[in-house]
Structures are given as C-alpha cells and as structure tokens.
Amino acid sequence: MVDIIHRVGIRTPVEKVYAALSTIDGICGWWTRQTSGASEPGARIALQFYSPDGSKVGDIEMQVVELEPDRHVHWRFVSGPEEWIDTDATFQLAQDGDWTIVRFGHRHWREPGEFTEHCSTKWATFLLSLKEFVETGRGRPSPADLWIGNWH
C-alpha cells in the first residue's frame, strides 16, 4: 500500500498552525480561497479550486472527523476525485522549541497510481503554502497555487 506522507517544520507556536488547519478562514489562507462550511467534528467543509483564468479545476467535500486542539486534525473526503472518496487526511502537530512540526498523511488509497504520485507532490506544495501562510501571513492558496505539471 502506498500512502502520501510529508513533514514540515513551521517556525511559530502550535496554536497558529492549528488555527490555520481548523478554521475556514485558516484553510482559505493556504489551500483554496473558496472554502466554506463548518469546521467542527461531524460537519462538512466544501472546497473549490480554480485556475488563474477563472476556470474551475476541481471540487472537494470533506467531513471533519476529529479536531484535537493543537494536536490533531482529521478529515475524510466524501466527494471530489473518485480516488479520494473515503480516504483520510491527518495532520499531527507537535511543538519542538521554536518550531511546530506538522506530520501529514493522506491514507487509505485503494489503487495508488500516477494520480496518487501527482497528489503527493501537490500536497507538498500546499504544506509549504501552509508554512508560508503561518510564518508570513501570505500563502499560495488556489487559484495562486504552484502548478507542478500538466495536471495542474
């Protein structure tokens, strides 16, 4: 089984990273500006992704499975790319001196393949956007996200 895994260190207190992951305004700052819904356990968050030219690239809806302040965020995807449905994204947070360490997983892919590989690289760019957003106030959420190839 292939999972997507990443780790970034963000030079900031853990509370700021948790806020960027657990609030709608926070998610708008690093993943996509078009984020709506309610960030609380059992509720759903809808995300839309656009190109800089205004065309829609994708739609995702996810359920918030768990929010443990300053420790853990767990989402399950309920609609979007077929490969994402019923997969899980988790963020484990820990403070280490001046740093907040984010350990990320996107797991439970049924048939990993080229699209999983694309998503792995794309997740890296969004986690670096999260890092920039929290450290500087300015991330690269869609539609300002970094294009990594012909699949956006």
DSSP assignment letter at 143:
T
Using CB under 8 A, which of 34, 108, 125, 135 touches a copy of itself?
125
Closest CA to 121 of 102, 142, 143, 149: 149
d(CA 130, CA 10): 9
Q: Is 114 in the site for a copy of itself (CB under 8 A)?
A: yes
One-letter amino acid at 102 equals V
Segment 72 to 91, residues that bind a copy of itself, using CB under 8 A: none
Segment 27 to 66, residues that bind a copy of itself, using CB under 8 A: none
Rounded to the nearest whole angstrom, what is the least distance from the CB of residue 28 to a copy of itself in the complex? 22
Cβ-contact 49, 83 below 8 angstroms: no
With contacts defined by CB under 8 A, name the span among 12-20, 23-31, 32-40, 95-103 that binds a copy of itself. Answer: 95-103
Kindly tell me the sign of the dihedral angle through the C-alpha atoms of 38, 136, 50, 111.
Answer: negative
Q: Which residues bind a copy of itself (CB under 8 A)?
A: 1-10, 96-97, 99, 101, 103-104, 112, 114, 116-118, 120-121, 124-125, 127-128, 131, 146, 148-151
